[in-house]
Structure 1
Amino acid sequence: MKKFTFLFAALLMVANIYSQNLALNKTTTTSSETSEGRGSAMAVDGDGGTRWESVSEDPRWIAIDLGQSYSIGRVVLDWEGAFGKEYKIQVSDDNSTWTDVYTETNSDGGVDDITLTGTGRYVRMYGTVRGTGWGYSLFEFEVYETISEEKDASLSDLKVDGVSIDGFAPGVTEYTYGLVQGETTVPTVTVTTTNSSAGSVITEATSIPGSTTIEVKSEDLSVTETYTIHFIIDTPSAAAPTPTQNEANVISVYSDHYTNNLITNSNPYWGQTTVVSEVQFQEDNALKYAGLNFQGTEYTGTDVSAMEYVHLDYFTGDATELKFSVISPGQENAYDIAANEGITTGEWVSVDISLEEYTMPDLTNAFQFKTEGNGTVYVDNLFFWKGNTTAVSEMDDVEFSILPNPVVNYMKVISASTIDGIEIFALSGSMVLEVSPNTTDAKVDLSNLTKGVYIAKIRMGGIVKTQKIIKK
């Protein structure tokens, strides 16, 4: 089954197998910088939240004075969104005559963890071709000294099911490996130690999701390093759930299940680093947000004030943050899905957000969405909707919805008539929760309930409806 591999954004936070970072807080020089707040010193301050940025020209460079000559074995470049596609790593003894020790011809940004051999007091990144229309921008520029062979506890290769893992570097010890939904077989991991006399022990994951660890001991047994591969479910095997809302009650922005869609641009550039693509599952289109930080969606300005909810379906294997904003010109606010409902991984999740949550935008002229978070997230079925009005004579057939189901922390009960009471029962018959919302849109906190199956009884104007719910 097809698999996808990617690195955590925080790879630089893991322990490295080389010496200390020689570049930390050392003197720097550069061909250019855009402001004091983005000077070259920001690239060696050890703070992943600050950065150096050059002007938007080629070539541009940044150099570090290590204070004395070293035998250099590794350089790490942590790029901001404005990265160098083609560049050289150079060393020098006098900060004047430079020797190329590494040449990159097709970087895609992110973290470039480079193993090389060179000797010098000065180290320079010399950018020749920018990867974007902006300049060159580095969160951190790290330099490490070569270690002795007998103390080398690194790997020179790391394979999953016989294929070298994408983005592998000896100094990176933590990886995430994505599997397709439904995969239950733990992949086979094999390794090659940099020093053939070093030892390694592999402890396989016991299930999916799960983690396989590799403990490497140096030849002289003085150094131990642990590599970890986290196996997650990060790709759907099927399309998002088919919406149940009647088209007459829907204003659709992006969905294959409705005739008219307002979307005009699924990937406007707002300065994001998210990589957007449209993918298909069972011939149903969805949007993939890889490396999400934030992502906009533009659509025709529309009056949605008569609607009651905005809907989306999402699928993720690794996101821990997720927010969704409705935007009108100059006005927006976000609904925090992660904080209010929790994030479920490895399956499609349907989210219906009451438009009462959006107090800032002018709902008579909504024209954009913004999705914020991290990891890789698939989204589908973006639309506004309202419920049907139920007449008194139709109360016996009153309709209601419980969302989501399964539920992590918060459950929504949506009805066309007022919800007088909600009672939650364990399968033993004992009542574990009772609320009296007196609204048509009730939010119920189930975070204190243990995982399992429960029965919800919904009382609406003398009518009692029951439904099984699953607490995750």
Structure 2
Amino acid sequence: MKTSKKLFSKITKPLALLLLVSLGCERDISDEAVQATFSTNQFVFSDSFSAGLEYYPFADSKFEAFSVDTEVKYQGTASMRFDVPNEGDRNGAYAGAIFRDDNGGRDLSKYDALTFWAKASKAATINDIGFGQDFGQNKFQVSKRALRLTTNWVKYTIPIPDASKLKQEKGMFWYAEGPENGDGYSFWIDELKFEKLGTIAQPRPSILNGDNISVNTFIGVNINIADLNQTFNLGTGEDISISSAPGYFVFTSSNPSVASVSETGVVEVLSSGNTVITATLGGVEAKGSLTINSIGSFVFAPTPTRDPNNVVSIFSDHYTNTPVDFFNGYWQPYQTTQSADFSIQGDNFLNYTNFNFVGIQFANPTLNLTDKPNLHFNMYIPNSVPSNFDFLVTVVDFGPDRVNGGTDDTRQQLFVRKSPSIVSDSWITVEFSLAAMQNKSNVGLIIFENINFSLLRNFYLDNIYFYKN
């Protein structure tokens, strides 16, 4: 039997504006003001959309990925069906959308979880699924990453980190999922609703993945507190961790005169000195902290002076940059390098920490550098240069197949040895020619690497570009 489906889409409705004009004597409205209340409707989808719910697909997603299925359901008469496209589908690269309450939002403060039943056409893992995304501030967004589905109906629970925050929440549900091994598939969700389970316990919030991190930084730097999570026990013995928006946390700086921290978790360094950033969630202290060691005023990298027509820029605020796939490929299992990139007064800098090696890839498209066969970058080493400093730069051409690691790759290397010109707390300019590189028409990768047991662990980069003389 053919599955019967109905496609839902957003229909824009005219908005009526009501202008209230008050005439007569003045009075203090606070005496009679009544706090606005919002719907406590727990249902998102149960056989149909709940009142006020609208469907908004993400940009570049497959619009038709969502439908209502009257044949496959857990109970009742219908379920939500999601068709993840195959790789290369011209109608959309992935499936993803938000389901938003457009009646002003809902009061979800009496619930402790979003629950639903789900199954898939094959065993699969949804990239992201949750609630709190509304195409606005997304102040209370929650994501359960890597949700594993089976071919049988299973009930899933996504806890609310702190329900007292959700007095007027519009983001009822969202998801994002791409093809698995190039192939699309279908999954179904039914009885999607908020519940008060009463079994969710043992909250264990964390910031920075629970690590205690210390950074040396400068006045004017803004640092985002990232990797915010909340972990609960579901009462079944199972722990579940969810990615939680900064809005759920209360951040504190031990020395606000050195660095302040906003309610969205943005640290602004104000003066020289030291401070520790910590957080709580629902009154529970979060594991992890950020120690700020502010050195003082920052010295900016030299301003490039080359003609933009003679430059192909990878990373610089002074040129138009070519598309970059990543500035840190996180090549596992051997890479230890992390990124702590920052900006000062609108100028952006790459910051590599715990460094052993790292790659910057720009393969979509690769670059033809036949007429720009030189590499330039500025490097800053804070504190001190290791006595055994030994730094290797490798530029890789992917060859005609434009694939990294193929049989037609070529590369050229520059060894940057310890010398009087390699100094700390000052910008170093590094330039070298690619003239000896056999092929330069499909360049797609720059690799920076510690060699010979060099102990370089932290440095900044700026103004990475290729040029012609």
TM-score (norm 2): 0.32
Which structure features the higher share of strand residues? 1
TM-score (norm 1): 0.31
